[in-house]
Amino acid sequence: MQQIIVGTKNKAKLAQIKGALASLQLNIIGLPDDNLPDVKEDGKTAQENAKKKALAYAGVLGHPVLSMDNALYFENLPDEKQPGINVRRIEGRSDRPTDTELLNYYSELIKGLGDKVNGHWDFAICFAYPDGKIHETTIVSPRIFTSKISSKTIEGYPLE
């Protein structure tokens, strides 16, 4: 069975990718815990961040790495208010919010947009080889978001 290393330690993101690729019968694993660089996600797009992570980890590990980053957009929200690649950043805060805080923040934001809003996720994917060769794509996934918080959440991926 062929193995794929996914450039994440986020268990929810790893589970999502495993689920999406389940029919391919691959051995999908996350990053090891040892001596990996801290990749600064300072790209302007989700695709730039996915590429940075995939290339960095593939270079260090000496194996191909699949990395994903995402961005969130809502209809009828001004550009300067869009979460985009900063989904985990709440306006006016410098710390990383908990899943509950994130859900409450977006619930209030959507309530201000009429309790229900169309939006989409951009799932940027990059597969990088240790020699620097890459394959990349972005999947746009339309969604309807409501202000009502679901009773079922995924730890580490609360907006899913």
Would you call 5 helix, strand, or coil by DSSP?
strand
Confidence at residue 76, expressed as pLDDT on a 0 to 100 scale: 92
Sheet with strand 27-29: strands edge to edge: 27-29, 3-6, 65-74, 116-128, 134-146
Would you call 49 helix, strand, or coil by DSSP?
helix
Write the pLDDT tens digit of every residue in 137-158.
Answer: 999 999 999 999 998 988 888 8
Task: Report the alpha-carbon distance of residue 21 to residue 29 in Å, rounded.
Answer: 12
Confidence at residue 83, expressed as pLDDT on a 0 to 100 scale: 94
Backbone angles phi, psi at 146, to 5 degrees: -120, 160
Task: Report the alpha-carbon distance of residue 107 to residue 59 in Å, rounded.
Answer: 40
Q: Which domains, ranges and CATH numbers included, belong to the chain? A: 3-146 (3.90.950.10)
Write the pLDDT tens digit of every residue in 55-87.
Answer: 999 999 999 999 999 999 999 999 999 999 999
Confidence at residue 140, expressed as pLDDT on a 0 to 100 scale: 97
